[in-house]
Amino acid sequence: MTNKSLTVIIPSRFQPQQSVFLEKAVRSIKKQTIINDYDLTVIVSVDKGRSPEKSVTESLGVKCVESRKASQASALNAAIEFVDTEFAAFLEDDDEWYPQYLEAATQAIAAAPFISSTQLEFDENNVLLRINDFPTPSGWFMKSDVLRKVGMFNEDYRFHLDNDWLGRAGELKIQRIHMVEATAPIDARYISGVRPWLANVLKYSGGLTRLARHSQMIPLVRRLRHSEAGMEKIATCPDFRKISQHECNRLVERFGRIPW
């Protein structure tokens, strides 16, 4: 049987732990239970002039591309230009997939062309913080024609480029499955009372998203919260909060809501 083909895009910013983060992220991809079912390409996209040492990319077995300017959207877009596989996925360099992620996503994609996932959040001391139900790109897995239809990320956004992309996917009526752990509520009667962010996924995706449990007891994406992360900067810096609020206002003006 012919393997399916998959490109995983990893945007990566230059900082002291960049190589450590990249090693963990790439290792988590290669440890997927069904990784041998795929012809895999991993593209690491970095700021212009900030490529890791060649020895690092060679040891990880990844391609490296440089973005045109220093932003996450630009980094993602630089890599998207090279996607020529059947499927595409994203994984931020400070996040990881648990081994069953790709298997669950592959099963779910039979029901919808775009998959997202909840995450399990940890801090820098490896302390479990919470389940995060927002559909962050580190849990996105899709047919590549979805990526081509929705297009590049909007480089005018610093923080909420994922919301803008989700909004444009909604305008195109692209159906999505949002994967949740085996014990998560999926009955609308109970979701809003115990998992309000999970309710937001249904409410603010334009009615195009369904929840689907996988077999594992925890979310299949591990997310790291640290001082250099965008959401942490918004929480701690007034200037970044202003930028975030301005972007949220733009989203509401464009889509009538902040897309989830």
Mean pLDDT, rounded, for 184-200: 95
Mean of per-residue pLDDT scores for the chain: 94
d(CA 113, CA 175): 7
> Would you say residue 260 lies in a domain?
no
Q: Is residue 34 part of a domain?
A: yes
Domain CATH code at residue 66: 3.90.550.10
Whether residue 129 is contained in a domain is answered as yes
The structure tokens listed for 143 are 């047919």
pLDDT at position 19, please?
A: 86
194-204 pLDDT per residue, tens: 999 999 999 99
The distance from CA 61 to its chain's CA centroid, rounded to whole angstroms, is 21
- Residue 172 within a domain: yes
Domain membership flag for residue 230: yes
pLDDT-wise least confident of 8-17, 112-121, 153-162, 178-187: 8-17
Domain count for the chain: 1
CA–CA gap between residue 171 and residue 74 (Å, rounded)? 22
pTM of the model: 0.94
pLDDT at residue number 44: 96
127-130 long-range contacts, CB within 8 A, separation 24+? 129/225
Containing structural domain, residue 123: 4-255
For residues 51 and 179, give the distance between their C-alpha atoms in angstroms, rounded to a whole number.
33
Confidence class for position 238, pLDDT limits 50, 70, 90: confident
Structural element, H or E, at residue 89: strand 87-90
List the single range of 15-29, 138-152, 189-203 with lowest mean pLDDT: 15-29
